[in-house]
């Protein structure tokens, strides 16, 4: 029996959490309820204990003499964390990483999917800070069931009403199904820039932050895949569970990709690999007066082109990325054909506010049959979902 954690906070719609609990139980799930201290002022934790058959967790430290750390052990046991209803306060805590009670601490410890269903007064819900916090959670990979318009506790009609328990359960079940869609699959992702040294101090590189590749690695993990992340230098933390392979140069990235490719079902080349490197590398810092009048460059290895050679990859899904400044679809389509890719994701990096260094992007996804899908401007987390959905379709075709 799979286990779900149900977080309950101090919204007036707290009574609906009982129906959410019962709904998951009817689907065969074991449910552990966690209440915030303020929620326990509205309804006795004993009610949820009676419904779930388990003692409701409220106090972070509790009165258990076990040597197990309660929120850590629970995080390892559950397949889904649902917070319904979720107040503006808990949303702000999750978005900021504040962990001062059992529920907010559990959130930081889980690796499973997280579903949040907000419920609050319309003014609180539409407040710019609450909306910014919701966006931060979505960017971080949290699934939200956004509230509806309806009659609120303040006796007014407006946005902020908790969605029905049936919708929360439906979204939760969909997340659980997706969390196993890539089980027993291995996804190899490259991310970030490469650096091509001129001397011990200077190097050639590019503006890639690695955010897109790391978002793809995180999404593959959420779908149950084993993930190998080959990353150039970035300031990002790898998604928990990913097997990080740090590299610096294009040559090192090529070696690491080839070393791990035989184990992979999917290769996603999201890294911005340098096309050129200095022909000569000095072992000492080149002084200004010693610098040559022109810098001689030589091509680096084209990793995707080398993988396009016949044999050994017929059942693998290969996804490439194209950062373009003009003729995006035409240039990306040519790269797709020449490098024998199954899918290519392209974007216009000349546009301000998206792409490099941003949490948002707008892309064109093209498959080898010529089908083109254009996304709106959305978070890179949402782009990763779109890409992985297409990857799953392609994997089904290659069985």
Residues 6+ apart with CB under 8 A from 35: 7, 8, 9, 43, 45, 48, 56, 57, 58, 103
Helix spans in 326-379 (H): 328-338
Region of 176 on the Ramachandran plot (φ > 0 left; ψ -120 to 50 alpha; else beta): alpha
Q: Give the separation between CA 178 and CA 223, rounded to whole angstroms.
A: 6
Cα separation values, 154 from 121, 124, 146, 216, Å: 7, 12, 19, 42
Neighbour count for residue 374 (Cβ, 10 Å): 12
Is 154 catalytic? The answer is yes
Catalytic residue among 149, 154, 298, 371: 154
Q: Give the separation between CA 126 and CA 226, rounded to whole angstroms.
A: 39
Side by side, which strands form the sheet with 143-144? 30-35, 3-8, 80-86, 114-118, 143-144
CA-based R_g, the chain, Å? 24
Q: Give the separation between CA 241 and CA 386, rounded to whole angstroms.
A: 21
Instruction: Show the tokens assigned to 261.
Output: 């490719």
Residues 6+ apart with CB under 8 A from 167: 145
Q: Give the separation between CA 120 and CA 163, rounded to whole angstroms.
A: 11
Residues involved in catalysis: 154
């Amino acid at each position: 029996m799979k286990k779900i954690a149900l977080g309950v906070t101090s919204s007036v719609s707290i009574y609906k959490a009982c129906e959410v609990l019962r709904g998951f139980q009817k689907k065969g799930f074991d449910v552990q309820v966690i209440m915030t201290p303020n929620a326990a002022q509205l309804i006795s934790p004993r009610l949820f204990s009676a419904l779930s058959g388990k003692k409701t967790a409220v106090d972070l430290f509790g009165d258990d003499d076990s040597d197990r750390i309660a929120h850590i052990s629970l995080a390892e046991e559950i397949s889904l964390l649902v917070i319904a209803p979720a107040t503006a306060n808990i949303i702000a805590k999750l978005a900021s990483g504040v962990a001062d009670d059992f529920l907010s601490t559990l959130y930081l410890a889980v690796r499973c999917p997280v579903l949040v269903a907000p419920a609050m007064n319309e003014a609180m819900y539409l407040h710019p800070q609450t909306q910014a916090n919701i966006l931060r959670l979505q960017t971080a990979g949290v699934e939200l069931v956004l509230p509806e318009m309806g009659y609120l506790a303040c006796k007014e009609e407006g946005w902020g009403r908790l969605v029905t328990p049936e919708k929360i359960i439906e979204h939760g079940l969909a997340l659980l199904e997706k969390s196993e869609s890539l089980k027993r699959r291995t996804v190899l992702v490259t991310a970030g820039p490469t650096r091509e040294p001129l001397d011990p101090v200077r190097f050639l590189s590019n503006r890639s932050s690695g955010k897109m590749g790391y978002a793809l690695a995180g999404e593959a993990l959420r779908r149950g895949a084993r993930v190998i992340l080959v990353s150039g230098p970035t300031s990002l933390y790898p998604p928990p569970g990913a097997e990080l392979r740090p590299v610096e140069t294009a040559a090192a990235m090529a070696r690491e990709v080839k070393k791990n490719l035989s184990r992979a079902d999917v290769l996603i080349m999201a890294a911005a690999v340098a096309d050129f490197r200095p022909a000569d590398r000095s072992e000492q810092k080149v002084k200004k007066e010693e610098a040559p009048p022109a810098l001689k460059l030589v091509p680096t290895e084209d990793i995707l082109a080398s993988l396009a050679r016949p044999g050994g990859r017929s059942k693998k899904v290969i996804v490439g990325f194209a950062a373009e400044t003009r003729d995006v679809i035409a240039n990306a389509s040519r790269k797709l054909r020449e490098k024998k890719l199954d899918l290519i994701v392209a974007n216009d990096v000349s546009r301000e506010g998206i792409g490099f260094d941003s949490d948002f992007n707008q892309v064109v996804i093209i498959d080898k049959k010529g089908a083109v899908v254009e996304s709106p401007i959305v978070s890179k987390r949402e782009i990763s979902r779109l890409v992985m959905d297409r990857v799953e379709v392609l994997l089904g075709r290659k069985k």
